[in-house]
């Protein structure tokens, strides 16, 4: 919309047709406030109607509110009509499985989507209840459907929700990638020309519990052959699903694999879309694991594991001498532990993969074990599609340990592998922390860090990237910048909106906009082969910290 007046006119038309009484009432009140001179209300209406919520390789994700640039039942129905048209154009008898998590609006959106699919002639199968995201990726393959839709905003703030799409057939239950996302987006635009009330509705099937049980059995099977003995003698573990949907499935998988129960954080055990105990329901955010750490200390636990609210990511914390008594491992540390775990079982056959912003340490592990190493574009949709994949990860707490079962990041199967490894080490009188020391001794220390700047003014993100392109640093923390590469350019593979700075001490700094949140993210990697394993880690961490201090002023410019 080119003006506030046009936005208000569009908002009135939207409200008149909105089938959701809650968002209709919200929009009518917002329009009335804008017309009465409320500048904030006018700005909100203008933004909500300035365009459509972008459909991309993450599907849809945005704040729940009325308008085409928000998440609501109208946008969900339009997206489902467009996706249905794509599937019908691709095959004669398409089908789709739909799941949802515990966020506000998720079940309503899932049922709306299913009814629109069915009305368009696509067989629609709803999962039996709210379940983790990996269940949808699994169900696409298990049920042999043409596609899958998961209604979730993963670890986004409580006000958000989303619509994530998987494809079956040759895509094997992976997330959509270009050019398919663009083709679906065009069909959604066309579908939006039809009034929502005119979409036919159809009968929806509800999957039985067999889908969930099959996932539990398949996931439990990736434990060690002596899993009962290993689990029984393993470390004491505290778990939190962060008000999400992970607990039931985690408990079932661990029980089937022969592990004793975890100690769940009671305040965060049940799904709650308000996420009352955390500022952001993201285990990467400071404070998210405070309750888990307090409980673990009180219980004398030796390990903390956490899923994000839709349970496709995993966080791990270990005992530490710091003020809380615990240290959360970075995504790269967990990735290297799981990569080493996978590599030693691969016996020289297979592929390890990580996104380009993840630690180069996985490449060293792959080389030492005679395995191929592949770096992918950012986003797990690319990691999961690597041919011959044995293990893949990205630093944002996403891990794929069982590509034969799920072709997406899976925080539940990754949790099982972490506990299996921790139990094995525990039997030997060791721990995950000590294994990280051993890896540093064998391969050198690979330490990583991240600096993020969250913005409210989205224009700051491209402005920051443009400033760094125009005036890249010539040195960072006393090290010269040997190369400043713009990875969006064809000569660097057109990988994406990423700037990479390679330093003369072997360190690497990469800057990119977040794909799912209003952030600019900086990824820092440093390595050391000097001294003992502990000294190597300390030196690499010091280097990461120095580089983090050096890049912060660049983001605030």
Q: Which residues are catalytic?
A: 154
User: Residue 336 and residue 70: Cα distance in Å, rounded?
Assistant: 38
Question: How many Cβ atoms are within 10 Å of 552's Cβ, its own excluded?
Answer: 12
User: Residue 515 and residue 133: Cα distance in Å, rounded?
Assistant: 18
Q: How does 188-209 read in b/e, with b if 16+ C-beta sit within 10 Å?
A: beebbeeebeebeebebeebee
User: Residue 27 and residue 385: Cα distance in Å, rounded?
Assistant: 41
Question: How many Cβ atoms are within 10 Å of 210's Cβ, its own excluded?
Answer: 11
Rg value, the chain, Cα: 24
Q: Contact 176/187 with Cβ under 8 angstroms?
A: no
Q: Contact 94/122 with Cβ under 8 angstroms?
A: yes
The kind and range of the H/E element at 467 are helix 460-470
Question: How many Cβ atoms are within 10 Å of 325's Cβ, its own excluded?
Answer: 13
Can you give the length of the chain in residues?
557
User: Residue 179 and residue 85: Cα distance in Å, rounded?
Assistant: 16
Q: Are strands 508-513 and 499-503 parallel, antiparallel or unpaired?
A: antiparallel
Neighbouring-strand partners of residue 328? 317
Q: Which of 512, 513, 524 is nearest to 550 (CA)?
A: 524
Q: What's the helix, strand, coil split of the chain in %, to 5?
A: 40, 20, 35
Dihedral, CA of residue 352, residue 304, residue 154 and residue 160, to nearest 10: -150
3-class DSSP state of 249: helix
User: Residue 79 and residue 533: Cα distance in Å, rounded?
Assistant: 52
User: Residue 82 and residue 326: Cα distance in Å, rounded?
Assistant: 47
Question: How many Cβ atoms are within 10 Å of 542's Cβ, its own excluded?
Answer: 14
């Amino acid at each position: 919309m080119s003006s506030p007046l046009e936005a208000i006119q569009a908002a009135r038309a939207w409200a008149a047709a909105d089938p959701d009484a809650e968002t209709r009432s919200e929009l009518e009140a917002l329009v009335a406030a804008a017309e009465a001179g409320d500048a904030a209300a006018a700005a909100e209406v203008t933004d909500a109607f300035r365009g459509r919520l972008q459909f991309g390789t993450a599907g849809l994700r945005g704040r729940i509110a009325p308008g085409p640039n928000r998440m609501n039942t109208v946008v969900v129905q339009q997206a489902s009509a467009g996706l249905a048209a794509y599937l019908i154009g691709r095959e004669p008898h398409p089908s789709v499985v739909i799941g949802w998590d515990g966020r506000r609006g998720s079940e309503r959106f899932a049922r709306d989507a299913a009814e629109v699919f069915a009305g368009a002639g696509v067989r629609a199968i709803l999962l039996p209840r709210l379940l983790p995201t990996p269940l949808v990726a699994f169900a696409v393959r298990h049920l042999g459907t043409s596609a899958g839709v998961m209604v979730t905003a993963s670890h986004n703030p409580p006000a958000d929700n989303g619509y994530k799409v998987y494809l079956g057939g040759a895509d094997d239950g992976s997330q959509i990638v270009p050019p398919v996302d663009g083709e679906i987006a065009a069909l959604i635009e066309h579908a939006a020309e039809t009034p929502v009330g005119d979409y036919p509705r159809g009968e929806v099937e509800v999957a039985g519990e067999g889908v969930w049980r099959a996932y539990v059995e398949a996931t439990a099977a990736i434990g060690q052959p002596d899993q009962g003995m290993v689990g029984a003698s393993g470390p004491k573990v505290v778990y939190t699903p962060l008000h999400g949907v992970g607990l039931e499935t985690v408990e079932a998988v661990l029980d089937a694999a022969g592990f004793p129960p975890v100690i769940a954080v009671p305040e965060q055990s049940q799904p709650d879309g308000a996420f009352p105990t955390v500022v952001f329901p993201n285990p990467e955010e400071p404070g998210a694991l405070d309750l888990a750490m307090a409980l673990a200390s009180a219980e004398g636990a030796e390990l903390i594991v956490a899923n994000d609210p839709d349970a496709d990511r995993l966080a791990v914390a270990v005992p530490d001498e710091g003020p809380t008594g615990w240290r959360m491992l970075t995504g790269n540390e967990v990735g290297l532990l799981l990569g080493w775990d996978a590599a030693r079982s691969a016996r020289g056959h297979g592929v390890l993969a990580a996104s380009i912003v993840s630690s180069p340490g996985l490449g060293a592990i792959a080389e030492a074990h005679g395995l191929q190493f592949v770096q992918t574009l950012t986003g797990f949709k690319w990691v999961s599609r690597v041919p011959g994949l044995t293990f893949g990860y990205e630093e944002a707490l996403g891990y794929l340990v069982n590509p034969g079962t799920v072709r997406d990041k899976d925080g539940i199967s990754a949790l099982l592998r972490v506990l299996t490894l921790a139990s094995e080490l525990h039997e030997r009188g060791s721990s995950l922390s000590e294994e990280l020391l051993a890896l540093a001794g064998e391969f050198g220390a690979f330490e990583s860090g991240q600096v993020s700047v969250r913005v409210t003014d989205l224009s700051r993100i491209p402005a920051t990237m443009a400033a760094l392109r125009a005036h890249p640093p010539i040195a960072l923390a006393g090290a010269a910048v040997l190369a400043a590469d713009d990875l969006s350019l064809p000569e660097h593979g057109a990988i994406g909106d990423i700037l990479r700075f390679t330093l003369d001490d072997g360190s690497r700094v990469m800057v990119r906009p977040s794909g799912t949140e209003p952030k600019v993210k900086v990824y820092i990697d440093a390595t050391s082969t000097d001294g003992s394993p502990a000294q190597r880690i300390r030196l690499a961490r010091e280097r990461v910290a120095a580089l983090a201090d050096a890049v912060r002023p660049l983001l605030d410019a």
